[in-house]
Structure 1
Amino acid sequence: METLSKVIKAKRKENGLTQEDLSLKSGLGLRLIREIEQGKTSMRMDKVNQLLSLFGMELVPAPKSRDHE
């Protein structure tokens, strides 16, 4: 299971975007983009979904992985 930070960083790079580009395209602050990619653990779900929507994704409930129990 990949972490949110890894997914967002990978998608950003796949699309040839810098953190600054992603900030502008998503309407989110550069600081938040950096914090998310560094593994920030608490953030607003609407902001995460705003960012993920650029890549055709959204945050959804999923079964908890046994590796993280």
Structure 2
Amino acid sequence: MAVKDTQEDGDPVKVQYYRSGDSDYRTLWNHSGVGTTAYSADGAIVKEIRVCESRDWAPDACSGWYYTT
């Protein structure tokens, strides 16, 4: 899993995802800034995913959930 920050707005980004066999989603954060990519460790197949921009003092802006299989 990977998440890249593509906007120079100061807001961190995250990806939330389910791996095969998981009942709770996992979260991978990227706090490193524009142009950087954060990676998770290897693991089971990712079956569902959504991306979010974390906004101060406002709800996170997230995509819908997408099935990968």
The bucket for the TM-score relative to the shorter chain is under 0.3
- Output the TM-score relative to the length of structure 1: 0.27
Structure with the larger helix share: 1
Q: Which structure is higher in strand share?
A: 2
